[in-house]
Chain A
Amino acid sequence: MELGRVTGTVVATTIYEGLEGARLLIVQPLDRTLKPRGRPVVAADGVAMAAPGDLVAVVASREASLALPPPPGPVDHAIVGIVDAVEEWSR
Chain B
Amino acid sequence: MKIGRVAGTIVSTICVPVFENRKLLLVDLLDTDGKATGTDLIAVDVVGAGAGETVLVLDEGNGARQVLEAPDAPVRAVVVGVIDELMIGE
Report the separation of the CA atoms of residues A45 and B77 in the bound assembly, to the nearest whole angstrom.
Answer: 19
Please tell me if B16 contacts chain A, counting CB pairs below 8 Å: yes
Report the separation of the CA atoms of residues A46 and B90 in the bound assembly, to the nearest whole angstrom.
Answer: 48
Contact among A32, A49, A80, A84 with B74 in the assembled complex (CB-CB below 8 Å): A80
Residues of B within 8 A of A49 (CB): 14
Decide if A78 touches B74 in the complex (CB within 8 Å).
yes
Number of A-B pairs, beta carbon distance below 8 Å: 96
Decide if B16 touches A81 in the complex (CB within 8 Å).
yes
Q: A63 and B61 in contact (CB under 8 A), knowing A1-B75, A80-B19?
A: yes
- Which residues of A are at the interface with B, using a C-beta cutoff of 8 A? 1-3, 31-32, 46-47, 49, 57, 59-67, 70, 78, 80-89, 91
- Which residues of B are at the interface with A, using a C-beta cutoff of 8 A? 6-16, 19, 24, 26, 28, 38-43, 51-52, 61, 64, 72-77
A-B contact pairs, 11 of them (CB 8 A): A1-B76, A2-B42, A32-B26, A61-B61, A64-B74, A70-B72, A78-B74, A81-B10, A81-B16, A86-B10, A88-B8
